[in-house]
């Protein structure tokens, strides 16, 4: 390209060094020559030395989170083992059952070829239940409800200038033409549905079954505030000047740009916030704890808030989570039953297959191990679980466990 | 030339062509934010800007070019980003106006490609100095300079004492004085003072 006296990278370095006051006489001469070479050059030189302009651009750059982007990028690389593992799972889907490794006792268990459907249940399973799928209900500010899995692609609504569009079953907001007050929208997943949505600020949200999120269609003001229920995984777009605040009925989470999972199902004993990247401040809402103490999580930690009951007050503790991927297995289309007890596993099945579980007598509380695809019929899951001395019977959508 | 002159340039370029994640990550971290901001200034929105830059890095990863030197590599990154952003504008029907506006601004300000690169490179170097400050004091300086947070807010968020915030900030200031222009440090002082 140009000679070295015009090379933009050399000029940029000279300008930066001059700002540091570190130019040699020779370098100063070169820089002066460049500045006086044209009006445009001189104008740029003035702008580059304007602290306000400088801060404005530095702030703009700081909004992009290169560390998170790099992690995302590398984790999508075909060369990494993650992907291979997923493909492996995929290949074996026809016998998904075979993937679950049995029992806490660590017995390694591999199902042989299955017979024809249902054989194995000795006729107990008169019918089967298909796995959950993508879908949700969108409630607009005026109360209009749209069923997201039955809508076509493309633009589906406009509210106060914010466009809502649906592509590949993912909802996206474009707030670039937003006017007036930001309307509040709610997305709700029933049992048997999950959903992925990109909020107006670029934050990505995955809703597990039986969950919800309420948010403004454009984020304005000091902070970005949403309210959730159920289980939600967040990848928050980094906007350092506008913290992201997540509220549940019990806790408040403050973040700057980070990914984390919140499990706040009402039928779970505790409310758990697991941090994967970044930093999150967890504060129980007033009334949950006598003295509102907060905790700041570092990646790989889970904040556990117990629910208060008659005998005990709520407590907020922090535990290490060596394998956070396990916590967000659902978001990646998997069940991960490692170390989970019978009742926790059943609660997951209830939400995903939209069934009701009833216990007959008092079944042993087995600890499970292994993972399998969520995109699997209920019978396949039960088939595997049955190898652990639990018995199932499905009548309608009630699953009897003994 | 730059502050990373200790980094072995040829080693870096060799590492890139051999698909080495370490060297690749270094380049990614060094340029991602600046390139995203560059694309943003062209297309007018941050979301797609990041997609564009991810694509550029994807190309770098898929088919590592044989770069003569670091300058050649930087040149590739800026040009590929610019071209992809301009292509995006052409492709996106809704942004005809934006495209016209960008081209118009270009004529008006006569911002040639070279001048754009100079502008982004200078800001990038400032940004890297601030984000390159050591752990705790760097975090505090960033929360103050970039986020405009008050000392009390920083102490609250990080769960540390107000005195620790002040101490770390003083340390960060000292380091910045060694690295940055007096104007920036003056501005930083202004912000700190207001808090």
Residue A80 lies in a domain: yes
Predicted complex ipTM exceeds 0.90: no
Judge whether A2 is closer than 8 Å to chain B, CB to CB: yes
pLDDT of residue A273: 93
CB A394 within 8 A of CB A372: no
A359 and A252 in one domain? no
Which of A310, A225, A304 has its CA nearest to residue A272? A304
A145 and A263 in one domain? yes
CA separation, residue B62 to residues A109, A248, B9, B32, B162 (Å) = 39, 43, 21, 17, 48
Beta-carbon separation of B187 and A51 below 8 A: yes
Last residue of a domain, one of A327, A345, A366: A327
Question: What values do phi and psi take at B179, rounded to 5?
Answer: -110, -25
A288 and A225 in one domain? yes
CB A65 within 8 A of CB A238: yes
Judge whether A183 is closer than 8 Å to chain B, CB to CB: no
A226 and A181 in one domain? yes
Stronger pLDDT, A312 or A225, i.e. the higher one: A225
Q: Which residues contact A119 (CB under 8 A, 6 or more apart)?
A: none
Interface test with B, best of A4, A60, A197 (most B CBs within 10 A): A60
Residue A123 lies in a domain: no
Residue A386 lies in a domain: yes
Structure tokens at A361: 């007598």
Find, in chain A, the residue whose alpha carbon is nearest to that of B191: A55
Pairing of strands A398-401, A392-395: antiparallel
Chain B: give the shortest CA distance to residue A14, in Å.
Answer: 9
Residue A1 lies in a domain: no
Find, in chain B, the residue whose alpha carbon is nearest to that of A57: B123
A198 and A58 in one domain? no
A276 and A185 in one domain? yes
Find, in chain A, the residue whose alpha carbon is nearest to that of B131: A62
How far out from the chain centre does Cα A187 lie? 15
A160 and A67 in one domain? no
Structure tokens at B103: 């081209």
Neighbour tally for A29: CB within 10 Å: 11
CB A336 within 8 A of CB A326: yes
CA separation, residue B130 to residues A186, A216, B12 (Å) = 39, 33, 23
Stronger pLDDT, A93 or A337, i.e. the higher one: A337
A177 and A104 in one domain? no
How far out from the chain centre does Cα A245 lie? 15
Which residues 10-39 of A have a C-beta within 8 angstroms of B?
10-13, 15-16, 19-21
- How do residues A210-243 score in pLDDT, each as one tens digit? 999 999 988 888 889 999 999 999 988 877 678 8
Structure tokens at A367: 């600890």
CA distance A281 to B89: 39
CB A141 within 8 A of CB A162: no
Quote the radius of gyration of chain A (alpha carbons, Å). 27
Chain B: give the shortest CA distance to residue A241, in Å.
Answer: 5
CB A327 within 8 A of CB A321: yes
A289 and A166 in one domain? yes
Last residue of a domain, one of A47, A77, A112: A112
A143 and A17 in one domain? no
Pairing of strands A137-139, A133-134: unpaired
- How do residues A243-264 score in pLDDT, each as one tens digit? 899 999 888 898 866 889 999 9
**Chain B partners of A3 at a C-beta cutoff of 8 Å?**
none
DSSP assignment string, A250-279: SEEEEESS-EEEEEE-TTSSEEEEEEEES-
A169 and A34 in one domain? no
Host H or E run for residue A235: strand A224-235
Region label for A192, one of left (φ > 0), alpha (ψ between -120 and 50) or beta (otherwise): left
Last residue of a domain, one of A267, A300, A327: A327
Across residues B28-36, what is the average pLDDT?
92
pLDDT of residue B93: 56
- How do residues A10-26 score in pLDDT, each as one tens digit? 999 899 888 777 788 88
Overall number of domains in chain A: 3
Residue A121 lies in a domain: no
Region label for A393, one of left (φ > 0), alpha (ψ between -120 and 50) or beta (otherwise): beta
Neighbour tally for B17: CB within 10 Å: 13
Task: Give the domain extent around A344.
Answer: 333-401
- Res B53 pLDDT > 80: yes
Confidence band for A276, pLDDT divided at 50, 70 and 90: confident
Interface test with B, best of A53, A64, A70, A303 (most B CBs within 10 A): A64
Find, in chain A, the residue whose alpha carbon is nearest to that of B50: A64
pLDDT of residue A274: 93
CB B12 within 8 A of CB B23: yes
Residue A119 lies in a domain: no
- Res A158 pLDDT > 80: no
Interface test with B, best of A6, A12, A15, A39 (most B CBs within 10 A): A12
- How do residues B69-116 score in pLDDT, each as one tens digit? 788 888 999 999 999 998 888 776 555 666 666 655 555 444 588 899
CATH of the domain at A163: 2.60.120.1440
Total beta-carbon pairs less than 8 A apart between chain A and chain B: 148
Helices (H), A147-288: none
Judge whether A177 is closer than 8 Å to chain B, CB to CB: no
Structure tokens at B184: 């920036």
Count of CA atoms in the C-beta half-sphere (13 A) of B166: 6
Residue A66 lies in a domain: yes
- Res B150 pLDDT > 50: yes
CATH of the domain at A389: 3.55.50.30
Q: Which residues contact A108 (CB under 8 A, 6 or more apart)?
A: A101, A102
Residue A61 lies in a domain: yes
Beta-carbon separation of A61 and B25 below 8 A: no
Which percentage of chain B shows pLDDT scores above 90? 17
Q: What is the pTM of this model?
A: 0.47
Stronger pLDDT, A178 or A352, i.e. the higher one: A352
pLDDT of residue A83: 29
**Chain B partners of A49 at a C-beta cutoff of 8 Å?**
181, 183
A347 and A293 in one domain? no
Interface test with A, best of B39, B138, B146, B149 (most A CBs within 10 A): B146
Which percentage of chain A shows pLDDT scores above 70? 79
């Amino acid at each position: 390209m140009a000679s070295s006296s015009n090379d933009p990278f050399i000029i940029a370095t000279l300008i930066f060094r001059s700002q540091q006051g570190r130019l040699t006489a020779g370098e100063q001469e070169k820089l002066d020559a460049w500045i006086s070479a044209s009006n445009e050059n001189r104008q740029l030189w003035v702008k580059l030395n304007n602290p306000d302009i400088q801060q404005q651009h530095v702030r703009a750059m700081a909004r992009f989170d290169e560390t998170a982007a790099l992690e995302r990028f590398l984790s999508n690389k075909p060369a990494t083992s993650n992907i291979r593992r997923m493909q492996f799972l995929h290949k074996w889907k026809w016998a998904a059952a075979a993937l679950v490794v049995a029992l806490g006792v660590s017995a390694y268990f591999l199902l042989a070829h299955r017979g024809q459907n249902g054989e194995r249940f000795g006729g107990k399973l008169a019918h089967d239940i298909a796995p959950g799928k993508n879908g949700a209900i969108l409630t607009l500010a005026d109360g209009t409800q749209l069923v997201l899995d039955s809508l076509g692609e493309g633009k589906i609504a406009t509210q106060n200038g914010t466009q809502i569009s649906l592509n590949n079953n993912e909802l996206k907001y474009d707030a670039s033409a937003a006017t007036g007050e930001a309307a509040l929208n709610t997305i709700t997943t029933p049992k048997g549905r999950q959903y992925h949505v990109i909020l107006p600020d670029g934050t990505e949200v995955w809703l597990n079954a039986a969950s919800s999120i309420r948010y403004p269609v454009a984020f304005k003001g000091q902070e970005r505030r949403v309210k959730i229920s159920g289980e939600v995984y967040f990848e928050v777009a980094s906007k350092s000047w506008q913290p992201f605040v997540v509220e549940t009925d019990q806790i408040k989470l403050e973040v700057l740009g980070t990914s984390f999972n919140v499990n706040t199902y009402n039928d779970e004993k505790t409310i758990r916030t697991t941090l994967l990247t970044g930093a999150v401040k967890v504060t129980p809402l007033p009334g949950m704890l006598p003295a509102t103490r907060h905790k700041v999580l570092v990646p790989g930690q889970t904040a556990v808030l117990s629910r208060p009951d008659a005998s005990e007050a709520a407590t907020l503790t922090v535990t290490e989570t060596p394998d956070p991927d396990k916590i967000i297995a659902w978001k990646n289309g998997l069940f991960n039953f490692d170390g989970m007890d019978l009742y926790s596993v059943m609660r997951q099945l209830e939400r995903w297959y939209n069934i009701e579980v009833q216990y007959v007598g008092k079944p042993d509380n087995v600890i499970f191990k292994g993972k399998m695809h969520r995109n699997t019929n209920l019978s396949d899951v039960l088939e595997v679980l049955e190898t652990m001395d639990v018995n199932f019977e499905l009548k309608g959508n009630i699953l009897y466990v003994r | 030339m730059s502050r990373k002159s200790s980094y072995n340039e040829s080693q870096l370029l060799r590492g890139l062509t051999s698909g080495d994640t370490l060297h690749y990550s270094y380049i990614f971290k060094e340029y991602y934010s600046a390139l995203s901001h560059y694309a943003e200034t062209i297309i007018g929105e941050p979301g797609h800007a990041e997609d564009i830059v991810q694509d550029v890095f994807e190309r770098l990863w898929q088919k590592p070019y044989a770069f003569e030197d670091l300058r050649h590599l930087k040149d590739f990154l800026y040009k590929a980003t610019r071209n992809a952003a301009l292509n995006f504008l052409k492709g996106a029907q809704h942004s005809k106006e934006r495209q016209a506006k960008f081209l118009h601004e270009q004529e008006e300000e006569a911002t040639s490609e070279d001048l754009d690169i100079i502008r982004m490179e200078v800001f990038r170097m400032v940004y890297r100095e601030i984000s390159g400050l050591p752990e705790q004091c760097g975090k505090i300086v960033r929360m103050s300079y970039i986020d405009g947070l008050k000392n009390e807010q920083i102490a609250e968020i990080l769960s540390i004492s107000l005195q620790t915030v002040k101490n770390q900030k003083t340390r960060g200031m000292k380091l910045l004085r060694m690295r940055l222009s007096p104007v920036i440090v003056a501005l930083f002082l202004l912000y700190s003072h207001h808090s």
